[in-house]
Amino acid sequence: MNLTVVGTGYVGLVSGTCFAEMGNTVTCIDIDSKKINNLKKGIIPIYEPGLEAMVMRNVQNKTLQFSTDLSVHLDKIDVVFIAVGTPMGDDGSADLQYVLQVAKEIGRHMTHPMIIVDKSTVPVGTADKVKRTIQEELNIRKLSIDFDVVSNPEFLKEGDAINDFMKPDRVVIGADNEEAAKKMRTLYSPFFRSSADRLILMDVRSAEMTKYVANAMLATKISFMNEIANICELVGADVNKVRIGIGSDSRIGYSFIYPGSGYGGSCFPKDVKALKRTAEEHGYTANLISSVETVNDKQKLIIAQKVVKRFGEDLKGKTFAIWGLAFKPETDDMREAPAIYTIRELTNRGAKIQAYDPKAMDEAKDFYLKDIKSISYHSSKYETLQNADAMILLTEWKEFRSPDFEEIKVQLKQPIIFDGRNQYNDTQMDELGIEYFQIGKQT
Ligand code: UGA
């Protein structure tokens, strides 16, 4: 099929590239000309394993191209995907201005029937707004063209996005028209060739809701476990054992019950807030969803609190080595990362930071921690430790999993580790003489 994908952010770029890989002809559009020029040269704006090679391959095969102009890329197109950002508005709701701008542009330039797909995470009712916006433009042009607006939320995880797209657990399609549903099934069926058909068809509003509910459910699991971890510490239990104990019940399962220093990223924080806001707009107070957010806000400061408990309120003259800045491994994304909150809290109290992350240091320097003077960035994890008072692990990158603990002991002023992701074994830490602080177990 001939596809146009509008928005070359995470979702748009991965989706467009994977559709091209599956044999479709895809044009990815973005208004950011610098981004588009870079993409044409094979320079990818994000770090995502496997993406660069796949983009290059499809550009060479001429199945993937990039452009800044949507108006000239609607000709002979079967499906247009809207994958632009839906940033959080001041009141917590999703800001739809970019989605509706694209809808307007489509209405202004479409010349034949097509399917318009909402792939951005958008609140319930957005497909209706997109439809109205396109129709208004067609009315101005005095044209009558059939089109369908379909909801197709994206469930990919950063760091594993290609795999999630190429071998999906499920594809959710919300369509109010059988023809449109049939076309979407044809587009996705190659992705299920090696597995059972996992395409779930429903009405548009249920599909829009499914995206928020999936993320809110996962965020709830994490906040629940973080709260349990805090209770475990108080009663002298070990959350690592409790996690295995409960996960073995197949109704609960092992996934997404790892306690830590809170969830971050571009999705969970924004989507939990937006779902709460949607409920409010309909006169409902979503108490559980609100608590998920409150627990997470507190949890992002849990490691800083442990440091204060160990070193005192005033951290002037203290230096901490931070291992990991990204909100999770295999990404350079620092949006809502616990590292931002931890580092701000420590530096506000006078501490100096020596940081290392395999991929996210540019993001930190140029954007998220740009204003912080008392931070230095280092080219290796061991270099951060020199003369530091303690090491703090905040992202579970593979290279942090089994480090040389003797080297850590040599470099640090005193052997103290704060672990925001429970990566190490406390018995081993004891044997090594390392003072070890983790989440959900008393030291
Ligand atoms: C999340 C969802 O997992 C995807 O299914 C969804 O498509 C995506 O949001 C989206 O809406 O676009 P992502 O934000 O990339 O994906 O990251 P996750 O792997 O889900 O991790 C989110 C956060 O939860 C991370 O900070 C991670 O450290 C934390 N987490 C995860 C925990 O603290 N404990 C866990 O057990 C699992």
Closest Cα partner for 394 from 352, 361, 356?
356
Instruction: Give yes or no: residues 184 and 274 share one domain.
Output: no
Average pLDDT (19-28) is: 97
Q: Is residue 76 a contact partner of residue 110, using CB atoms and an 8 Å limit?
A: no
Tokens of 325: 């800045």
Its domain, for residue 68, covers 2-202
Predicted confidence (pLDDT) per residue in 328-347, tens digit: 999 999 999 999 999 999 99
Of the candidates 298, 317, 338, which is a domain's last residue? 298
The rounded Å distance from CA 105 to ligand 1 centre is 33
Predicted confidence (pLDDT) per residue in 300-318, tens digit: 999 999 999 999 999 999 9
Instruction: Give yes or no: residues 237 and 284 share one domain.
Output: yes
How confident is the model at residue 282, as a pLDDT? 95
How far is residue 275's CA from residue 280's CA, in Å, rounded to a whole number? 9
How confident is the model at residue 93, as a pLDDT? 85
Nearest-CA residue for atom 25 of ligand 1? 263
Q: Is residue 438 a contact partner of residue 396, using CB atoms and an 8 Å limit?
A: no
In the sheet with 79-82, reading across from the earlier edge strand, the strands are 64-67, 25-29, 2-6, 79-82, 114-118, 147-151, 171-174, 199-202
The rounded Å distance from CA 256 to ligand 1 centre is 8
Number of folded domains that form the chain: 3
Q: Is residue 442 part of a domain?
A: no
Of the candidates 235, 267, 298, which is a domain's last residue? 298
Q: Which residues line ligand 1 (CB under 6 A)?
A: 121, 154-158, 215, 218, 222, 256-258, 260, 263-265, 267-268, 327-328
Atom of ligand 1 nearest to the CA of 160: 15
Least confident of 33-47, 183-197, 237-251: 183-197
How confident is the model at residue 419, as a pLDDT? 98
From the number of C-beta atoms within 10 Å of its C-beta (0-12, 13-18, 19+), residue 229 rates as buried
Q: Is residue 304 part of a domain?
A: yes
Give percent of the chain above pLDDT 90: 94
Instruction: Categorize the per-residue pLDDT at 286 as very low, low, confident or very high, splitting at 50, 70 and 90.
Output: very high
Q: Is residue 39 part of a domain?
A: yes
Q: Is residue 9 part of a domain?
A: yes
Predicted confidence (pLDDT) per residue in 239-285, tens digit: 999 999 999 999 999 999 999 999 999 899 999 999 999 999 999 99
257 is in an annotated binding site: yes
Nearest-CA residue for atom 17 of ligand 1? 157
Instruction: Give yes or no: residues 172 and 317 share one domain.
Output: no
Report the CATH number that the domain containing residue 260 is assigned in CATH.
Answer: 1.10.1040.10
Atom of ligand 1 nearest to the CA of 219: 24
Nearest-CA residue for atom 6 of ligand 1? 155
Q: Is residue 443 part of a domain?
A: no
Instruction: Give yes or no: residues 158 and 102 share one domain.
Output: yes
Out of 220, 267, 275, 327, give the residue to mutate to test ligand 1, the one with the largest number of ligand atoms within 8 Å of its CB. 267
Residue 232 is among the residues annotated as catalytic for this protein: no
For the cut 80, the answer to whether the pLDDT of residue 117 exceeds it is: yes
Instruction: Give yes or no: residues 285 and 307 share one domain.
Output: no
126 is in an annotated binding site: no
From the number of C-beta atoms within 10 Å of its C-beta (0-12, 13-18, 19+), residue 426 rates as middle
Instruction: Give yes or no: residues 110 and 168 share one domain.
Output: yes
Atom of ligand 1 nearest to the CA of 395: 28
For the cut 90, the answer to whether the pLDDT of residue 196 exceeds it is: no
75 is in an annotated binding site: no
The rounded Å distance from CA 157 to ligand 1 centre is 7
Report the CATH number that the domain containing residue 143 is assigned in CATH.
Answer: 3.40.50.720
Instruction: Give yes or no: residues 274 and 363 share one domain.
Output: no
Predicted confidence (pLDDT) per residue in 417-429, tens digit: 999 999 999 999 9
The rounded Å distance from CA 122 to ligand 1 centre is 18
The rounded Å distance from CA 374 to ligand 1 centre is 30
Atom of ligand 1 nearest to the CA of 157: 15
234 is in an annotated binding site: no
Q: How far is CA 210 from CA 153, 156, 201, 216, 271, in A?
A: 8, 14, 12, 10, 11
Nearest-CA residue for atom 36 of ligand 1? 256
How confident is the model at residue 443, as a pLDDT? 83
For the cut 80, the answer to whether the pLDDT of residue 195 exceeds it is: no
For the cut 90, the answer to whether the pLDDT of residue 193 exceeds it is: no
How confident is the model at residue 89, as a pLDDT? 85
Atom of ligand 1 nearest to the CA of 226: 33
Q: Is residue 49 part of a domain?
A: yes
For the cut 90, the answer to whether the pLDDT of residue 212 exceeds it is: yes
Predicted confidence (pLDDT) per residue in 8-23, tens digit: 999 999 999 999 999 9
396 is in an annotated binding site: no
Out of 162, 213, 215, give the residue to mutate to test ligand 1, the one with the largest number of ligand atoms within 8 Å of its CB. 215
Of the candidates 202, 228, 263, which is a domain's last residue? 202
The rounded Å distance from CA 411 to ligand 1 centre is 33
Average pLDDT (35-44) is: 93
Instruction: Give yes or no: residues 293 and 343 share one domain.
Output: no
Instruction: Give yes or no: residues 46 and 170 share one domain.
Output: yes
Instruction: Give yes or no: residues 81 and 195 share one domain.
Output: yes
For the cut 80, the answer to whether the pLDDT of residue 368 exceeds it is: yes
Instruction: Give yes or no: residues 309 and 291 share one domain.
Output: no
Q: Is residue 207 part of a domain?
A: no
The rounded Å distance from CA 361 to ligand 1 centre is 20
Q: Which helix (H) or strand (E) holds 135?
A: helix 126-140
How far is residue 79's CA from residue 183's CA, in Å, rounded to a whole number? 9
121 is in an annotated binding site: yes
For the cut 90, the answer to whether the pLDDT of residue 60 exceeds it is: yes
How confident is the model at residue 90, as a pLDDT? 86
How confident is the model at residue 217, as a pLDDT? 98
221 is in an annotated binding site: no
Instruction: Give yes or no: residues 195 and 218 share one domain.
Output: no
Q: Is residue 263 part of a domain?
A: yes
pTM summary value: 0.94
Phi (first) and psi of residue 163, to 5 degrees: -60, -45
Phi (first) and psi of residue 162, to 5 degrees: -65, -45
Instruction: Categorize the per-residue pLDDT at 399 as very low, low, confident or very high, splitting at 50, 70 and 90.
Output: very high
Nearest-CA residue for atom 20 of ligand 1? 157
Atom of ligand 1 nearest to the CA of 333: 15
Out of 11, 84, 157, give the residue to mutate to test ligand 1, the one with the largest number of ligand atoms within 8 Å of its CB. 157
